[in-house]
Amino acid sequence: MHLGIDLGTSGVKVIVIDDEQRIKAEAISPVSGSISDPPISEQHPAEWITAIERALDQIKSEFPDALGAVEGIGLSGHMHGAVCLDAADHVLRPCIMWNDGRSALECAELDSKADFRGIAGNLVMAGFTAPKLLWMSKREPEIFDRISKVLLPKDYVRLWLSGEFASDMSDASGTLWLDVGRRRWSEELLSACSLDASRMPRLCEGTEATGRIRVAHRQRWGFRKGVLVAGGAGDNAAAACGMGIASDGAFLSLGTSGVVFAPAGSFRPSAGKAVHTFCHALPRTWHQMGVILSAANCIDWLASILGLPVDRLLAMLPDKIERPSNVCFLPYLSGVRTPYNDPAAQAMLTGVTIDTSATDLIQAVLEGVGHALQDCFVALSEAGTEFEEAYAVGGGARSKQWLQIIADITGIRYLVSQKGDYGAAFGAARLAMAASGRADLKTILSKPEVDSVVSPDPSLADAYALSYENFVRRYALDSQARQDATGSGPIL
């Protein structure tokens, strides 16, 4: 058996799979102790460990034989966080999280210091790790000077599990210190933050073994001797492994945020449109992502305003959408990444009249997210990544009406699998299976069975093309107005 641990922002998921990749045990444990006062977002790494311990305790209690049969452990986690350790491996301060925005001013400075776009393959954004450390060097120099190692969140879990300093290529890509094309640390990019490779963990592929579990954990939870800890992956790359999106295919994740993910056989950066170009968790493979910061949370936001649960809102829509809404919604509740990299962008409803109904607003919000995802598809296409179908995952993908709207806007066919769990924890367990040599990668990374297909309605293609043009124009007008008034706008 193999175990997967996925460290999420709000909780930890742990699963155990057998050699046929059937889930034999699972547990979910919340992460507490978050510090959130935008633009500040921090968590105490000790809370991650507490959550993992609770989950392992639960599995040991409910599935007594599961942990003793585990051969390998794979790790997944939220990316871009900065866990700073001193020479004794003590945490120096709470982890600065992926959605912390304090380092926005440092982004332009870094962009002028080194070729981040060419070497790291990405724009310098406040969400990434590098500007966080430059921010620390200026505002917390007494802490910065004591840093012995900088770890990503899941790699701090690795240190706790095995005592090893290591990071896989996919997660390391999100630091902006990795030479993504050559899959090695870049001294040039590290130097721009007054760091060097000695303060970084060693690099590995997600399918490699990086160490063995500590004796204390074997004794507490009954793990056998020699259980390996695999390289693992950042959360989106791990989810791709869970769905078998390795060298081909694509997926749309419709969760709190929205992600369009596609693997690539070579390093093809497209930083100008804020496309994320990272190493995949698999050797000699890369991937590209378009990312929007607000997806399913847009409908949650509307539900809170209308005082109705989300399922009631979705039930108010007609069985078939006959035309686009007259209302245009820009879904930028938390700014926008792809394709504008505009952290100051704001959500907006236009076209509202006295005749506008709640149903019109609901449809407009769902379409607004669809249009933002179309921005991602266009950016990926311009970067040389095109596809006609993609798996749809995440909470929002459970709504066939929403998927139909997105299909009609994007022209992409969506594949839905209702059977099994193909998320990041499952992908992490698969990477552990690969690291232990139980089977070849092609066999391990099979794609899920398709239960249904949501195809675009060609009769709505022209109407939604016009609706998308209006969406793009509305953002351009708002962006120009903000620049004229405040000087804030896209950072490209």
> Of 338, 342, 360, 362, which is closest to residue 351 (Cα–Cα)?
360
3-state helix, strand, coil in the chain (%, to 5): 40, 20, 40
What is the enclosing helix (H) or strand (E) of 289?
A: strand 286-292
Kindly report the backbone phi and psi dihedral angles of residue 14, in degrees, each rounded to the nearest multiple of 5, phi listed first: -125, 130
Report whether 144 contacts 133 (CB < 8 A).
Answer: yes
Query: Residues with Cβ < 8 Å from 440, sequence gap 6 or more?
Result: none
For residue 268, the 8-state DSSP code is: -
Place of tokens 């579990």: 213
For residue 117, the 8-state DSSP code is: I
Give catalytic status of residue 100 as yes or no: no
> 467: buried, middle or exposed (CB in 10 Å: 19+, 13-18, 0-12)?
buried
Cis peptide before 131 (omega within 30 of 0): no
Q: Would you call 488 helix, strand, or coil by DSSP?
A: coil
Place of tokens 């929002």: 396
Q: Would you call 11 helix, strand, or coil by DSSP?
A: strand
List 384's β-bridge partners, or say none.
none
Query: Residues with Cβ < 8 Å from 351, sequence gap 6 or more?
Result: 325, 326, 327, 328, 364
Token code pair at residue 12: 């930890």
Half-sphere exposure of 134 toward its Cβ, with a 13 Å CA cutoff?
Answer: 28
Cis peptide before 39 (omega within 30 of 0): yes
| Separation of alpha carbons 341 and 131, rounded Å | 15
Report whether 284 contacts 368 (CB < 8 A).
Answer: no
Instruction: Give me the catalytic one of 168, 171, 235, 478.
Output: 235
Report whether 95 contacts 133 (CB < 8 A).
Answer: no
Distances (CA, A) of 415 to 155, 227, 346, 398: 32, 36, 31, 12
Token code pair at residue 356: 């506008």
Q: Strands 2-7 and 11-17, how do they pair? A: antiparallel
Residues taking part in catalysis = 235
